[in-house]
Amino acid sequence: MNWTEVFQSDSKHDVSLADAFSALSISRVGQGHKDVRLVHESAKLYGKALKELQLALFDPERMYSDHILMACMLLGLYEVFEGPAFNSRSWVSHATGAARLIQLRGARRHQTWNSHHPFLASRIPTVYAAILQRKATYLATEEWRTIPWEFQHRTYFDRMVDLGTFIPGILEKFDILQEYDVDTTAELAALLEECSELQRKMNKWRDGTKKGALPRIVEHDPVEQPAYPFATDLWFENHLFAHARLVYHTCSLALSQVGNEILKSLYLRDQKRLKSMDAPFEELFDADGQAANVCRCVTYCLQPEMGAWGANIINFPANLALAYYQKTRHTAAINWLEKAFQSTKSRGLHVENVFDVILPSLRDRDDQMRFLKRESSTESSDSSEHSPASNPSVASHTLSQHSLSSNATTIFVYEDPAKDYDTGYEPD
């Protein structure tokens, strides 16, 4: 979403929002122009905004303000975008904190334009954090999938995120069933059916993508080719198509992993029941293919024109793929991803391994292993992809004078490209 447009739509702002917007704006300009003075100034404003936000959250008259929600979201973006100050634990903390604030506000407080857009911006971080923590999210409830859209248009991207909200709950159910001492074969079989149906719906969403919005298959940089384990890259017409596809592959990867874990459990318990379930599980739960497709998007997302936003949208997907490859011991993929992360850090952007923060806190190795458990496209829908400043007005002016990333204007668009998706394929 375009935060500058949202910020400028209201002439009066809470102090926390003004400082948060200034901090983020100045930080991006400072990083883009390698101006250490501006970066340091942005850090001061970030600290000031954070204090104001904390005060607001204890003020009954301010805590439910749309401005406080916006400030919370912008400070979360600052944590992600500001390389030297980036901290993975803060990313998860901001995502869960924003989710809790939104939940406390209630679904009906997110129906107007100024409140609906921050709500939308919060959904992906909330889902990703919930997948990481393997805990169900309130976003999957009927209330939160309907009420915020009573007066707003639901986009093709919103529909994909709607489906993704169910995945954390499935992960939590599986973990609970694994801890039961009684026979849970029937419950596991039912959960497997739930996984299969959800993946079919996500595939239906994917199949609704028209040719112009499909990723284009391109040859990877020949200089790096010998060490690149995925043969080709996926290239997109714009960042919206890239982000939507990444959410699909990321959610499918998480679902495929738990689906395959359920299959293993059922195989050990009741092979006869498993054989009676007529479903193409190998095709539905293609974790290898989904992880590879996430990695094939890395080069597009980390190109200089994508700036910090590219690193932001690839952060969790790439790390989920890395965790998968560490589990399967795919050395070439691990080495390439880690090299890509280091290259990104050296440019002042951040793709950080959030799993390194969570995994050491788990009790033992078994727990760790279980936890990990668009230039116009010419690609057709075949197996080629599916397989292997303190003054807000000054800050706003400064932001408008400098691109957040060099030459990004040829890539970034703000409209909903619904014309590139076939509504006849929308999941139920």
Question: What type of residue is 160?
Answer: M
Conformational region of residue 277, where left means phi above 0, alpha means psi within -120 to 50, and beta covers everything else? beta
- Those residues whose C-beta lies under 8 Å from the C-beta of residue 428, and which sit 6 or more positions away, are 201
As a whole number of angstroms, the distance between CA 71 and CA 19 comes to 8
In this structure, the answer to whether residues 73 and 166 fall within a common structural domain is no
Q: Does residue 138 fall inside a structural domain?
A: yes
Q: Which residue range forms the structural domain that includes residue 213?
A: 155-388
Q: Does residue 409 fall inside a structural domain?
A: no
pLDDT score of 3? 55
pTM: 0.80
Q: Where are the alpha helices (DSSP H) in 82-212?
A: 88-105, 113-133, 142-146, 156-164, 167-179, 185-207
The encoded tokens of residue 356 equal 């390194």
pLDDT score of 349? 55
In this structure, the answer to whether residues 190 and 99 fall within a common structural domain is no
As a whole number of angstroms, the distance between CA 18 and CA 48 comes to 10
Q: Is the dihedral of CA 319, 266, 180, 251 positive or negative?
A: positive
Q: Does residue 269 fall inside a structural domain?
A: yes
Q: Is 420 helix (H, G, I), strand (E, B) or coil?
A: helix
In this structure, the answer to whether residues 142 and 169 fall within a common structural domain is no
pLDDT in tens, the chain (428 residues): 555 555 556 656 789 999 999 998 898 888 778 888 998 999 999 999 999 999 999 998 888 998 998 898 888 888 777 744 333 556 788 788 889 999 999 999 999 988 998 899 999 999 999 999 999 999 999 999 999 999 999 998 999 999 999 999 999 999 999 999 888 999 999 999 999 999 999 999 999 988 888 999 999 988 877 889 998 999 999 999 999 999 999 999 999 999 999 999 988 877 676 666 666 888 999 999 999 999 999 999 999 888 878 888 998 999 999 999 999 999 999 999 999 888 777 665 555 444 444 444 444 445 444 434 433 333 434 444 544 444 444 444 444 333 333 333 334 444 555 666 676 666 65
Written as one string, the DSSP assignment of 301-325 is HTSGGGHHHHHHHHHHHHHHHHHHH
In this structure, the answer to whether residues 146 and 185 fall within a common structural domain is no
Count: domains in the chain:
2
CB 76 within 8 Å of CB 101:
no
Burial call 19-36: b when 16+ CB within 10 Å, e when fewer: bbbbbbbbbbbbbbeeee
Q: Does residue 197 fall inside a structural domain?
A: yes
As a whole number of angstroms, the distance between CA 229 and CA 335 comes to 10
Cα–Cα nearest to 127, from 200, 292, 135, 310 = 135
pLDDT in tens, 26-62: 988 887 788 889 989 999 999 999 999 999 999 988 8
pLDDT score of 7? 56
Q: What is the largest CA-CA distance in the chain?
A: 69
- Helix (H) or strand (E) holding 344, with range, is helix 331-346
pLDDT in tens, 229-254: 998 999 999 999 999 999 999 999 99
Q: Does residue 394 fall inside a structural domain?
A: no
In this structure, the answer to whether residues 225 and 141 fall within a common structural domain is no
pLDDT score of 156? 87
In this structure, the answer to whether residues 207 and 352 fall within a common structural domain is yes
pLDDT score of 263? 93
Percent helix / strand / coil, the chain, rounded to 5: 70, 0, 25
In this structure, the answer to whether residues 186 and 86 fall within a common structural domain is no
In this structure, the answer to whether residues 147 and 247 fall within a common structural domain is no
As a whole number of angstroms, the distance between CA 243 and CA 238 comes to 9
Which residue, of 355, 371, 388, is where some domain finishes? 388
pLDDT score of 236? 95
- Helix (H) or strand (E) holding 150, with range, is none
Cα–Cα nearest to 17, from 87, 68, 78 = 68
In this structure, the answer to whether residues 89 and 185 fall within a common structural domain is no
Q: Does residue 179 fall inside a structural domain?
A: yes
Written as one string, the DSSP assignment of 382-399 is SHHHH----SHHHHHHHH
In this structure, the answer to whether residues 176 and 313 fall within a common structural domain is yes
In this structure, the answer to whether residues 284 and 380 fall within a common structural domain is yes
Q: What is the CB-side half-sphere exposure of residue 181 using CA atoms within 13 A?
A: 0
Cα–Cα nearest to 119, from 152, 93, 142, 163 = 152
CB 396 within 8 Å of CB 4:
yes
Which residue, of 126, 152, 178, is where some domain finishes? 152
Q: Does residue 163 fall inside a structural domain?
A: yes
Q: How many residues does the chain have?
A: 428
Which residue, of 152, 186, 208, is where some domain finishes? 152
Q: Is the dihedral of CA 283, 288, 291, 293 positive or negative?
A: negative
As a whole number of angstroms, the distance between CA 237 and CA 214 comes to 8
pLDDT score of 5? 58
CB 192 within 8 Å of CB 262:
yes
CB 138 within 8 Å of CB 103:
yes
In whole angstroms, how large is the CA radius of gyration of the chain?
A: 22
pLDDT score of 404? 35
User: What letter would DSSP give residue 209?
Assistant: B
In this structure, the answer to whether residues 351 and 226 fall within a common structural domain is yes
CB 215 within 8 Å of CB 386:
no
Question: What type of residue is 176?
Answer: I
As a whole number of angstroms, the distance between CA 333 and CA 30 comes to 33
Q: Is 218 helix (H, G, I), strand (E, B) or coil?
A: strand
Q: Does residue 414 fall inside a structural domain?
A: no
pLDDT score of 374? 31
As a whole number of angstroms, the distance between CA 195 and CA 281 comes to 10
